[in-house]
């Protein structure tokens, strides 16, 4: 559990920090909004913010919302004008806390945030029912508390990142940051800076020091998504970071020590990439201490209906709709489908089903009136294209 205190809170910030620390909470303090935003952007592990209401709370709340940063914010102040409190609450503050701080009230706020964090962790648990996944989860449960690197392999859309989060949440590092970087989505010339950070003036446009993903994940877990897409030149630097637990920022002169656990994913056959000279064998052995191969959805048929029900509940809640059910005919159809896009395809189908159906989801709601003409190998793209053309 980590909290961020922004502002002096009219001299009461230290008191709040002491109360939080006594409860075993880690505390970061920032005097200005810019410092607070910088701290929040550089760490995904902030669970609660105490904000001095005199520091333009609406501006801060709007900024973090626009940047998709959503830790609960508690506005604080002494003898504050009610209009300021109203503006802060309307802008997204969870509540207002009068100062001087009441130790019991502060403790209650922190405990509530910790419970909400725990509920989010429980809600994001791995959804499965198939024996093949039960066996895989038993292995995941055994290795999660360790410090071993884990390589998660399998086709796209099978849930490798979800499994990685599961491992982190059940590890000894679960209270610290879980940081993800997609190695395939970032050009090589930018990926080095994203991973290792850079110093001011390291290259054109480097106007300030930037902390990379390795430092952002310090104390926690770093997931290198689609690691097999990384250029061999960067693989050498990554290998050194894993072996020696130090990194060099781009343009830096001093090594930076790190303490992280590495997880990695790949949808490619890495041994073939090694044979082609596209992936370093020594890096592969460093990453592949434990290998979890996530099977295709069609190989775990007993997962299809539980996952479908999970996605229905998720998108009904997201769209403020009453919970919907699946007709038996719809269940039969999705059980026969080949799911070439795996769990990602199933999620997209169920999202579409929630939006287009009435109380009960029928095949025609999703696959169109001529759904019986589709064979089990039809891709989601062809289904969408066909239905659009007939609507």
42 in a structural domain: yes
94 in a structural domain: yes
**Structure-token pair, residue 89:** 């609450």
83 in a structural domain: yes
CB neighbours of 68 closer than 8 A, spacing ≥ 6?
none
End-of-domain residue from the set 121, 142, 165: 121
| CATH code for the domain of 307 | 1.10.8.60
The kind and range of the H/E element at 153 are strand 150-153
Asked if residue 175 and residue 79 are part of one domain, the reply reads no
Structural domain including 324 reads 298-390
Asked if residue 362 and residue 282 are part of one domain, the reply reads no
End-of-domain residue from the set 295, 322, 343: 295
Q: Please report the pLDDT score of residue 160 as a whole number.
A: 95
Asked if residue 230 and residue 164 are part of one domain, the reply reads yes
Asked if residue 59 and residue 138 are part of one domain, the reply reads no
Tell me which DSSP letter residue 248 carries.
-
Asked if residue 200 and residue 77 are part of one domain, the reply reads no
The H helix count followed by the E strand count for the chain is 17, 14
Q: Please report the pLDDT score of residue 334 as a whole number.
A: 93
66-101 b/e with 16+ CB inside 10 Å = b?
eeeeebbbbbbbeebeeebbebbbebbbbebbebeb
Q: Please report the pLDDT score of residue 12 as a whole number.
A: 85
Distance of alpha carbon 349 from alpha carbon 265, whole angstroms: 25
Q: Please report the pLDDT score of residue 230 as a whole number.
A: 93
163 in a structural domain: yes
Asked if residue 163 and residue 44 are part of one domain, the reply reads no
Q: Please report the pLDDT score of residue 390 as a whole number.
A: 45
Distance of alpha carbon 244 from alpha carbon 248, whole angstroms: 11
Q: What does the CA dihedral 160, 161, 166, 172 come to, rounded to 10 degrees?
A: 120
Asked if residue 285 and residue 136 are part of one domain, the reply reads yes
Q: Which residue has the tokens 């997962």?
A: 303
**Structure-token pair, residue 359:** 């109380």
Closest CA to 238 of 188, 204, 202, 277: 188
Q: Please report the pLDDT score of residue 22 as a whole number.
A: 81
Count structural domains, the chain.
3
End-of-domain residue from the set 265, 295, 325: 295
Asked if residue 194 and residue 96 are part of one domain, the reply reads no
Asked if residue 280 and residue 329 are part of one domain, the reply reads no
Residue by residue, pLDDT tens for the chain (391 residues) are 788 999 888 788 888 888 888 877 888 888 899 888 888 776 656 889 999 998 998 999 888 876 656 788 999 988 888 898 999 898 888 889 888 888 888 888 888 776 666 555 544 457 888 999 999 999 999 999 999 999 999 999 999 999 999 999 899 998 888 999 999 988 887 898 889 988 887 777 777 778 889 998 999 999 999 999 999 889 999 999 999 999 988 888 888 999 999 999 999 999 999 999 999 999 999 999 999 999 999 999 999 999 999 999 989 988 889 989 999 999 999 999 899 999 999 999 999 999 999 999 999 888 777 666 555 555 554 554 444 444 4
Asked if residue 135 and residue 230 are part of one domain, the reply reads yes
126 in a structural domain: no
Q: What is the DSSP string of 271-319?
A: HHHHHTTSS-HHHHHHHTTEEEEPPPGGG-GGGHHHHHHHHHHHHHHHT
Asked if residue 309 and residue 291 are part of one domain, the reply reads no
Q: Please report the pLDDT score of residue 378 as a whole number.
A: 55
| CATH code for the domain of 164 | 3.40.50.300
Q: Are 240 and 278 in contact (CB under 8 A)?
A: no
282 in a structural domain: yes
Asked if residue 249 and residue 304 are part of one domain, the reply reads no
């Amino acid at each position: 559990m980590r909290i961020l205190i922004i502002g002096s809170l009219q001299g009461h910030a230290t008191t709040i920090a002491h109360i939080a620390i006594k409860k075993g909470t880690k505390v970061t303090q920032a005097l200005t909004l810019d410092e607070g935003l910088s701290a929040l952007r550089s760490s995904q592990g902030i669970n609660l913010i105490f904000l001095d209401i005199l520091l333009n709370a609406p501006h801060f709340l709007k900024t973090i919302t626009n940047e998709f940063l959503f830790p609960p914010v508690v506005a604080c102040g002494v003898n504050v004008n009610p209009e300021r409190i109203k503006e802060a609450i309307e802008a997204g503050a969870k509540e207002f806390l009068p100062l001087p701080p009441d130790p019991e009230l502060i403790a209650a706020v922190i405990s509530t945030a910790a419970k909400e964090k725990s509920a989010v962790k429980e809600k994001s648990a791995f959804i499965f029912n198939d024996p093949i996944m039960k066996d895989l989860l038993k292995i995941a449960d055994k290795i999660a508390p360790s410090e071993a690197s884990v390589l998660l392999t399998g086709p796209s859309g099978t849930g490798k990142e979800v499994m990685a989060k599961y491992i982190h949440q059940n590890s000894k590092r679960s209270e610290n940051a879980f940081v993800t970087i997609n190695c395939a989505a970032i050009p090589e010339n930018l990926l080095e800076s994203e991973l290792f950070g850079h110093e001011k003036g390291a290259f054109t446009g480097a106007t300030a020091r930037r902390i990379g993903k390795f430092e952002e994940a310090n104390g926690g877990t770093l997931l290198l998504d689609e690691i097999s897409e990384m250029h061999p030149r960067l693989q050498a630097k990554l290998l050194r970071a894993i072996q020696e637990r130090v990194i060099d920022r781009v343009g830096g002169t001093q090594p930076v020590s790190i303490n992280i656990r590495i997880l990695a994913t790949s949808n490619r056959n890495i041994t073939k990439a090694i044979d082609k000279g596209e992936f370093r064998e020594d890096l592969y052995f460093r990453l592949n201490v434990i290998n979890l191969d996530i099977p295709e959805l069609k190989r775990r048929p007993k997962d299809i209906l539980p996952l479908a029900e999970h996605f229905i509940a998720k998108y009904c809640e997201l769209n403020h709709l009453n919970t919907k059910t699946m007709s038996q005919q719809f269940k039969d159809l999705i059980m026969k489908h080949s799911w070439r896009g795996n769990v990602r395809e199933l999620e997209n189908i169920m999202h579409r089903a929630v939006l287009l159906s009435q109380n009960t989801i029928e095949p025609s709601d999703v696959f169109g009136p001529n759904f019986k003409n589709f064979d089990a190998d039809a891709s989601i793209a062809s289904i969408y294209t066909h239905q659009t053309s007939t609507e």
